[in-house]
Amino acid sequence: MKNYLIFLYKVWRVSFQGSWQFYTWMAFLSILSLIGLNAYSHQLVDGLQTTGMTNQVSWGAYIANFTFLVGVAAAAVMLVIPAYVYKMHHMHRVVLFGELMAIAVIIMCLLFVMVDLGHPERFHHLLPPWGKLNFPGSILAWDVIVLNGYLLLNMHICGYLLYCYYREKKPTWLFYIPFVFVAIIWAVSIHTVTAFLYVGLAGRPYWNHPIVAPRFLASAFTAGPALLIVTFQVIRKFTNYWIGDEPIFTLRRVITIAMIINVFLLGCEIFAEFYPGTVHQAAANYLYFGLHGHNGLVPWIWTAIALDVIGLTILLTPWSHRISGLNTACIVCFVGIWIEKGMGLIIPGFVPSPLGEIVEYLPSVNETLVCLGIWSFGILVYSWMLHVAIPIMNGNLKKTSSST
């Protein structure tokens, strides 16, 4: 226990030690987070009228970002599976970075849900025995369980491994390998359950579509690893932790395959929406071409599709074997998927409304600031975790070393 407290103290000290770049970066993120917190305080006082949401479009940017980020969190398995299932040696050097990212991203997801609530202070209504969790009836109850479970699993795995490295002890198999394998299945479940949130609603034909869940996974396994590829290079550049090219190019293969599947499934979806010509295609019409003169999402979705196609094209050409090409592809795919799976999935579910009303949605300034704040806070948390984890993984922060 005492040793653990000393460990925490050292972690605390290391958290505030760094280069001027580190300080600048963290200060920058802190300021943005505070701006977001300020915007959220306004929302808490005035209610959700500070957002662009309406009775017709009752979910907006918060839930869109939430949906996208659940995928990014799930994508940590794309490091875990090569490392632990296929026993790819080189992936073990980086697998922890994926799990840490999952922690940071799940925190962002939970924040996005919290800020979407009309009564966040009643959060305990979800927690039995005091609360009443409508399980197994409500898919949202499932989502609460799987998201928090995934957070705990990853916190355990990362915390345990880092503490072992710190003590220079070999991790005990039993204390983490079973959790790693549970986390693999769990990762798939968080994204599937989140997809089922939408798929389970018979009154929204745009969502009530079996392909949503597989497409969620395919796009997640593109966006998540894309972010990791960029992160690895940041770590390589700014820290002394060595990451070779192999993990990066293993992930390149993952995102290429995932992106092919994603674009293929997108094609399937477009076919099913448009070929039969039923009234249920109204939402897709609105998204892709505009409906009765309302076309708020049209530029967005075509941007997303263009980015998806450009990203996939780069991934299929030799340019993606070079870091510059790969980075371009990663950023392009990440943004493309953020649009199509965020706004492109959530908003058309509400337009037209079940009674045929067309009310367009645009996030308000305050809402956008809250989103910005949560993104910054998530990146802040991830940066901090990397900043602490890397010296431990490098062996620079260990039990035997003295710290003042």
Partner 1 sequence: MQRETPPAKDIDAMSDTPEKLKRPKTVEEAIKPMDRRSFLKGAAASVVGMSGLVAALQPLLKLERGEITLDGLLQKHYKELSPKRMQTILRKLEEECKERYGVLPSIRDLKPAEGIGFAYALNLSRCVGCRKCAHACMAENNQHRDTPDDINMSYIRVLELAKGSINLETSNHYYDPKEVPQKDKYYMPVQCHQCRESPCTKACPVEATWQDDDGIIVIDYNWCIGCRYCMAACPYDARRFNYEKPKIPNEAINPNQGYLSNRPRPKGVVEICTFCLQRTRAGKYPACMEVCPTGARVFGNILDPDSEINYILQNKRVYVLKEDVGTQPRFYYYFD
Among positions 257-316, residues that touch partner 1 (CB under 8 A) are 279, 282
CB of 324 or CB of 402, closer to partner 1: 402
Nearest distance from residue 14's CB to partner 1, in Å?
6
Nearer to partner 1, 159 or 395 (CB): 395
> Is the Cβ–Cβ distance between 101 and 383 less than 8 Å?
no
Among 396, 275, 397, 280, CA closest to 348: 280
Rounded to whole angstroms, how far apart are CA atoms 220 and 70?
8
* Plot region of 309 (φ>0 → left; ψ -120 to 50 → alpha; else → beta): alpha
Q: Using an 8 Å Cβ cutoff, are 254 and 219 in contact? A: no
Site for partner 1 (CB under 8 A): which residue of 6, 122, 317, 362?
Answer: 122
Given 22, 25, 133, 313, the residue binding partner 1 (CB under 8 A): 133
β-sheet bridge partners, residue 159: none
Kindly tell me which residue out of 233, 303, 328, 353 binds partner 1, with binding defined by CB under 8 A: 353
**In this structure, what token pair is assigned to residue 163?**
């503490």
Stretch that binds partner 1, among 11-19, 71-79, 314-322, 326-334 (CB under 8 A): 11-19
The answer to whether residue 354 forms part of the interface with partner 1 (CB under 8 A) is yes
The one segment of 104-112, 146-154, 303-311, 386-394 that binds partner 1 by CB under 8 A: 386-394
Q: Contact between 372 and partner 1 (CB under 8 A)? A: no
What are the structure tokens assigned to 201, written together? 């609603």
Give the shortest CB-178-to-partner 1 separation in angstroms. 14
| 397, containing H or E segment | none
Q: Is 185 exposed, middle or buried (0-12, 13-18, 19+ CB in 10 A)?
A: exposed
Count the residues of the shown chain that bind partner 1, applying the rule CB under 8 A: 87
Least separation in angstroms between residue 29's CB and partner 1 is: 12
Closest to partner 1 by CB, 168 or 321:
168
Q: Which is nearer to partner 1, 221 or 241 (CB)?
A: 241
- Assess contact for 35 and 372: CB atoms under 8 A: yes
We find the least distance from the C-beta atom of residue 156 to partner 1, in angstroms, to be 16
The least distance separating partner 1 from the CB of residue 353, rounded to whole angstroms, comes to 5
Calpha distance 6→376 (Å, rounded): 29
Q: Which amino acid is at 8?
A: L
Tokens 């929406």 map to which residue? 273
Chain positions 58 to 77 lying near partner 1, rule: CB under 8 A, are 58-59
371 binding partner 1? (CB under 8 A): no
Tokens representing 15 are: 């958290």
Stretch that binds partner 1, among 115-123, 217-225, 258-266, 322-330 (CB under 8 A): 115-123
Phi, psi at 164, each rounded to 5°: -65, -45
Give me the least distance between CB of 356 and partner 1, in Å please. 4
Q: Which stretch binds partner 1 (CB under 8 A): 41-49, 70-78, 247-255, 264-272?
A: 41-49
Q: Cβ of residue 93: shortest distance to partner 1, in angstroms?
A: 6
CB neighbourhood size of 332 (10 A): 21
Quick note: the x/- pattern for partner 1 over 149-188, rule CB under 8 A, is ----------------x--x-xx-----------------
Q: Which residue, among 228, 227, 243, 143, has the nearest Cα to 192 in the 3D structure?
A: 143
SS3 readout for 164-222: HHHHCCCCCHHHHHHHHHHHHHHHHHHHHHHHHHHHCCCCCCCCCCCCHHHHHHHHHHH
Mark the segment that binds partner 1 (CB under 8 A) among 47-55, 99-107, 146-154, 323-331: 47-55
The DSSP secondary-structure symbol of 294 reads B
* Smallest separation, CB 270 to partner 1 (Å): 20
Shortest approach of partner 1 to residue 242 CB, angstroms? 5
Q: Which of residues 85-114 bind partner 1 (CB under 8 A)?
A: 87, 89-90, 92-93, 113
CB 103 within 8 A of CB 154: yes
Contact residue for partner 1 among 3, 24, 278, 401 (CB under 8 A): 401
